[in-house]
Amino acid sequence: MPKPDMTPGRVRVAPSLLACQFEKMAEEIVAVKDAGADWLHFDVMDGHFVPNISVGPLGVQAARRAWPDAVLDVHLMIADPDRYLEEFVEAGADILTVHVEAPRHVHRTLQNIRSLGAGVGVTLNPGTSLGALDPVLGEVDMVLVMSVNPGFAGQKFIPGALDRIRTVRRKIEAEGLSVLLEVDGGVKADNAARVREAGAEVLVAGSAVFGAEDYRQAIRDIRGNG
């Protein structure tokens, strides 16, 4: 598995497959690839950590087959991520992001992801203090700031997320770290510029891409390049 390019410094758009038409997931993946998507964002939900159930490693495998050299950005909203890390990497995940709220020992979980050779991401819910990032910031390749409470596509962007993005950006810069900043939830053409200006570089977008008539235009609007 080639290492994903996680170098900060350019904006990436990651369509969230949670909002695609599942009966034709492979076609949807090819459509966003052809429309210029940078990454694919894959939401895994277990009905415990979040009140919804999605798909697991088999879905990641299917996504990998549909776009063999995609950067597969896997967002684990599950209560016991450690149990499944290896399976997700074997299924083709390039980046595994876990919630600080989920595992009992998040620091160890992040080290486990590192030892499996995948990109290491950490995220936190809108109601979790950003101080929770401090002890683990040096362990990760990416911080994901949730801009909705996780569980569903199509929710409204929580405006307070903008300040949280700015704060995380300052933390990353203050420590001189090479860490990507991703934002997930309710990102659309009409707020993407503010999200980018606040310091986000990876913009996840579910309904704003898969609900659009023209995927290419939607991705361009979110990335901000015309």
Instruction: Give contact residues for Zn ion (rule: CB under 5 A).
Output: 43, 75, 184
Q: How far is the CB of 15 from ligand DX5 (least distance, A)?
A: 9
Partners of residue 15 on adjacent β-strands? 205
Beta carbon of residue 144, minimum distance to Zn ion (angstroms, whole number) = 8
Among 4, 12, 16, 125, binds ligand DX5 (CB under 6 A): 16
Q: Is the CB of 132 or the CB of 177 nearer to ligand DX5?
A: 132
**Encoded tokens for 31:** 């459509």
Does position 150 interact with ligand DX5 (CB under 6 A)? The reply is yes
* 40, two tokens: 């694919």
- Residue 188 CB, shortest distance to ligand DX5, in Å, is 8
Residue 186 touches ligand DX5, criterion: CB under 6 A? yes
Check residue 3 and report its DSSP letter. P
Q: Is 208 among the residues that bind ligand DX5 (CB under 6 A)?
A: yes
Helix 161-174 / helix 189-197 crossing angle, nearest 10 deg: 30
181 binds, among Zn ion, ligand DX5, none (CB under 5 to 8 A by kind): none
Q: Which does 133 bind (CB under 5 to 8 A by kind): Zn ion, ligand DX5, none?
A: none
CB of 175 to ligand DX5, least distance (A): 26
Q: What is the DSSP letter of 155?
A: P
What element of type H or E holds 226? none
Which residue number has the CB closest to Zn ion?
A: 75
Q: DSSP string covering 41-84, please? A: EEEEEBSSSSS-B---HHHHHHHHHHSTT--EEEEEE-S-GGGG
Residue 34 a catalytic site member = no
Catalytic residue, candidates 38, 73, 184, 221: 184
Query: Considering only residues 72-101, where is the footprint of ligand DX5 by CB under 6 A?
Result: 75
Whether the CA torsion 194, 199, 205, 209 is positive or negative: it is positive
**18-28 burial, b if ≥16 CB within 10 A, otherwise e?**
bbbeeeebeeb
**Which residue ranges make up the site for ligand DX5 (CB under 6 A)?**
16, 18-19, 41, 43, 75, 148, 150-155, 184-187, 204-208
